[in-house]
Amino acid sequence: MSAIESVLQENRVFPPPEALAKQATISGMAGYNALCAEAERDYEGFWARLGRENLHWSKPFSRVLDESNAPFYKWFDDGELNASYNCLDRNLENGNADKTAIIFETDDGKVTHISYRELHARVCRFANGLKSLGIAKGDRVVIYMPMSVEGVVAMQACARIGATHSVVFGGFSSKSLHERIVDVGAVAVITADEQMRGGKALPLKNIVDEALTLGGAEAVRKVIVYRRTGGQVAWQAGRDLWMHELADAQSAECPAVPVEAEHPLFILYTSGSTGKPKGVQHSTGGYLLWAKMTMLWTFDLKPHDVFWCTADIGWVTGHTYIAYGPLAAGATQVMFEGVPTYPDAGRFWEMIQRLKVTIFYTAPTAIRSLIKAAEADSKVHPRQYDLSSLRLLGSVGEPINPEAWMWYHTNIGGGRCPVLDTFWQTETGGHVITPLPGATPLVPGSCTLPLPGIAAAIVDETGQDVPNGNGGILVIKRPWPAMIRTIWGDPERFKKSYFPPELGGTLYLAGDGSIRDKDTGYFTIMGRIDDVLNVSGHRMGTMEIESALVANPIVAEAAVVGRPDDTTGEAICAFVVLKRARPNDEEAKQIATELRNWVGKEIGPIAKPKEIRFGDNLPKTRSGKIMRRLLRSLAKNEEITQDTSTLENPAILEQLKQAR
């Protein structure tokens, strides 16, 4: 039995290292408590102070929080600012012009350093290019790009001219991309010829071309292409342009357009429990404030830090902790094009050693897979590398189990680096419940306490508080500046999904179950309480995958559930009824492969079910409802102990059990 498995429950507490606590931005629990008390005393005053001290406003705000049209809250709404100005120009003015903003490393190990001055010039040139195409404030631009400096330039350039970007993760299929382009009403798409990951080139421009032939996307006038590999691409004259040709012709000065604080900085699609993906709309002022504050508080950013967030810019973590937060805070950050396992599973550790990373922020799924790799091959074990530059570690995207936490703390952090288990969501804009490195005593597996100003709580199904020690529904009781503003094009869904009337209509519903420790009040996240799956930190709705499956002509019916998985956190398990007779074992394998590839094409490779079981039917109640809790038990291969008396066709359980 490995050392990891033997740590069944972790009761140890890790106080903040004294030296760290002393010089931390939030120092000790006294520092934390003082900020919480300030927010408690004067909620609006607290946020107003942070807003004034931390952002540059071209027109200062006088109003702080407008609740008149709740839950469509407005923050700082008579103020004006520009996100790109705050991320770039401010650094030129503050003496950071020659500081490295981004250390970019390609898949095959080429490293470039980009200073704030250079990044500013590149963003300005590209912003001028966008303007020359008639793109302006209020337009939406879809970005479908690899991890690249150009990706950040594209996002920042949109922000600079007031265009709202919507980044789509490069792993999504042409259909998923198409759906988002149409929903957001994009006027342009920014992409790359190809994306390089793990030594393989993946076509992006081709996928954009395909998406745009699907119809309904006629508003897209331009496709701007970053030349990454030089691979062959089809070209539509008049519509397609090279990013470098567009930018090179432009001036390196582009005045940032001031926008109202509530102007949508971006729309990012994420999965909900029902229906199509939701376009989560974020503001400029409130969002940017929190992106910066959490860099200073959670990551205790110091001028000499080398910050590395391994997320993709296609997810919210890559927005807040690559494209905006680190730049707004004047950080030097590493950005990496590739994957953790190429050329081998020591890549992350080798990069930390070589680039002298001080703050490392990654996902539990990556940690768990690298633990496995290190145990299988000592050459890629972290002890082979000098990781002494590290001072803080972060985790995000899913619950980190105490075993993985301990391994991370011991083997990567050398026992000296606090592990920050940051709980947050696309909708929260930035961290909401997280330890602070210089204040919070850590307990493995717990994201500990809410940040100052975040009124997180646990309630029952009627919205009543539950006492510590009892599990319940995680909510946030007061609006905060970085919160989601609406679902693009569907305000009713926004209200229903996040402020459900059952809970009284005023509590923000996170969608996770949680429990607070009796003594410490620490939060532990128990996972989603809706039909949202979390596979390797990627959020997916079971409905989306079911819709993709039934879109296949051979499928009659499908139900998808998650089951715990050692590496990916959750794994997708699909129960499928075919239009033809139930296949024998041999056929089942082949059809399962076909269906997996089908889902890959419909949604993207991340949505491929790990397991597919075929039955003559699905377990249903007499009223025809699929009994998902039974499917969840079947997927886990556990004995069915639930009441099955309402089941119309009990024999189906045995069949689906056998089908594995």
- Chain positions contacting ligand 6R9, by CB under 6 A: 270, 315-317, 396-399, 421-426, 447, 510-512, 525, 528, 534, 537, 539
**Closest CB to ligand 6R9 among 75 and 169?**
169
Distance CA 98, CA 91 (A): 9
> Buried b / exposed e across 202-227, counting CB within 10 Å, b at 16+?
bbbbbbbbebbeeeebeebebbbbbb
Output the residue with the shortest Cβ distance to ligand 6R9: 426
Indicate the residue among 129 and 364 with the shorter CB distance to ligand 6R9: 364
In this structure, the strands spanning 240-242 and 222-226 are parallel
Nearer to ligand 6R9, 493 or 620 (CB): 493
Q: Which is nearer to ligand 6R9, 31 or 430 (CB)?
A: 430
The minimum distance between CB 398 and ligand 6R9, in angstroms, equals 5
Question: Nearest approach, Cβ of 37 to ligand 6R9 (angstroms)?
Answer: 25
CB of 429 to ligand 6R9, least distance (A): 10
Judged by beta carbon, residue 85 or residue 169, the one nearer ligand 6R9 is: 169
Q: Which residue has 């496709």 as its token pair?
A: 223
C-beta closer to ligand 6R9: residue 353 or 524: 524
Give the closest residue to 442 by CA, choosing from 3, 7, 17, 37.
17
Residue in the block written with tokens 């239009």: 579
Amino acid at site 277: P
Residue 505 CB, shortest distance to ligand 6R9, in Å, is 21
Give the strand pairing for 111-115 and 80-81: unpaired
CB of 532 to ligand 6R9, least distance (A): 7
Q: What Rg do the C-alpha atoms of the chain give, in angstroms? A: 24
Work out how close the CB of 513 gets to ligand 6R9 at its nearest, in angstroms, rounded to a whole number.
Answer: 9
Looking up tokens 């012709």 gives: 249
Shortest Cβ 427–ligand 6R9 spacing (Å): 7
Q: What are phi and psi of 512, to 5 degrees?
A: -115, 150
Least spacing, CB of residue 474 vs ligand 6R9, in Å: 8
Taking the complex as a whole, the smallest distance from the CB of residue 15 to ligand 6R9 amounts, in Å, to: 20
The residue ranges of DSSP E strands in 153-239, in sequence order, are 164-167, 188-192, 194-197, 200-203, 222-226
Nearer to ligand 6R9, 10 or 66 (CB): 10
**Environment class of residue 622 by beta-carbon count within 10 Å: exposed (0-12), middle (13-18) or buried (19+)?**
exposed
Q: Report d(CA 259, CA 349) in Å as an integer.
A: 41
Cβ–Cβ under 8 Å, residues 52 and 86: no
Pick 212 or 400: Cβ nearer ligand 6R9: 400
Residue 172 phi/psi, 5-degree rounding, is -80, 150
- 115 membership: H or E segment, kind and range: strand 111-115
Q: Which is nearer to ligand 6R9, 473 or 578 (CB)?
A: 473
Cα angle for residues 528, 530, 534 (degrees, 5° grid): 45
Residue placing its CB nearer to ligand 6R9 in the complex, 283 or 317: 317
C-beta closer to ligand 6R9: residue 164 or 534: 534
The residues with which 332 forms a beta bridge, in sequence order, are 306
Helix or strand holding residue 297 (H, E) = helix 285-297
Pairwise CA distance, residues 105 & 363, whole Å: 19
Compute the least distance from the CB of residue 537 to ligand 6R9, in Å: 6
What tokens appear for 183 in the block?
Answer: 């929903």
Q: CB–CB of 325/383 below 8 Å?
A: no
Least distance to ligand 6R9 from the beta carbon of 286, Å? 17
Q: What's the rounded Cα separation, in Å, for the pair 6 and 370?
A: 18
